[in-house]
Copies of this chain bind each other. A is one copy, B any other.
Amino acid sequence: MTRTVAILGATGLVGRTMRALLEEREFPLGRLVLLASERSEGRRETFRGANVPVDPVSEKSFEGVDLALFAVTNPLSEKWAPAARAAGTRVIDNSSAFRYHPDVPLIVPEVNGALLEARPTLIANPNCSTIGIVMALAPLLAAARFERVVVSTYQSVSGGGAEALEELERGVRGGLDGDPPPRAGGLPPFAFNVVPHIDRFEENGYTREEMKIVWETRKILDLPRLAITATAVRVPVRIGHCASVNLELDRDLTPDQARALWAKAPGVRVVDDPADGRYPTALESAGRDEVLVGRARRDPSRSHALEFFVASDNLRKGAALNAVQIAEALARVEAGAR
């Protein structure tokens, strides 16, 4: 196997996690190309014991590259995806630039990986909160129809990138003995705070992050009319996105039945033994591949309603791991096609 793989955004939090996962999971590749903006020129990163330079991305970067994992902002994805595809490079894109395009599959391999059999050349990787929520919701579709989903998230600061994480660290240190300093632009501090604002506000009063959860859950579950709403909130945590999920169903589903469905689902781990003090937490999810689900209980405020709590590593399953799993699934499709 002499496949060449590139990571665009190789020095960011997600890009670095992609590189670590390609190594950790022994992804079948012959050569790894690390790409970033000119700001990162001169940097080198380690991969499989070798010292790999980080190259500034250019029109020529994608020549001979079979697969590129993009971990950059929307404008950069919009700029470089056409160049990559023109060079014959398949792109798995972690930005939201292409997620809502009807021709671009939005993939969580355990849920809708079958769409990769069409061998798409551009695949969108979902929002970091959405992936955990969808991984917990999907197994329950085998038992009941969804009437409505109400989500409130508890999102870590690494979801906002390396600079946001540095702001958290500065804020925590600056706030050890008093109020944490405000963020740049007068924004409320991350440290010691709860901030119900992620991404920009839309006209309907929801943030774009909240609408991503709505749009992407519908698309991934192939339930375009699903009734779903979300409140997306930043909390002073480094890694690990949590969500409180209230799910209304068309028939009864007991917590035991839900746990049995999750236990069978690849990539989901049931952590739900309150008597023993076991439930999902942000810290327990950090560094793990599985999505943790627990606190399952019958919601007495509505018949056929279930509540549960989800935690997952937003850099791994919420971003880099899911992208690498898409790449792995594509490699299997290609191997099968040969």
A interface with B by C-beta (< 8 Å): 148-150, 152, 154, 169, 172-173, 176, 179-180, 186-189, 192-197, 201, 204-207, 227-229, 231, 233, 235-238, 240, 242, 244, 246, 255, 274-275, 277, 279-284, 294-302, 305, 307, 309, 311
Contact = CB atoms under 8 A, between A and B. Distances in A.
Given A295-B196, A301-B150, A231 B205 contact: no
Count the copies.
2
Nearest to A228: B301
B300 A194 contact: no
Contacts of A294: 196
Given A149-B301, A235-B235, A300-B229, A280 B196 contact: yes
A312 B186 CA distance: 21
A204 B235 contact: no
B295 A205 contact: yes
Given A201-B275, A237-B236, A301-B148, A195 B281 contact: yes
Given A186-B277, A233-B242, 8 more contacts: A148-B302, A149-B301, A154-B235, A192-B237, A194-B240, A194-B242, A197-B279, A205-B295
12 contacts: A154-B154, A192-B236, A192-B237, A193-B283, A194-B237, A194-B240, A196-B295, A197-B279, A228-B301, A229-B246, A229-B307, A235-B235
A113 to B, nearest CB: 27
Contacts of A279: 196-197
A164 to B, nearest CB: 14
A295 B230 CA distance: 12
A244 B237 contact: no
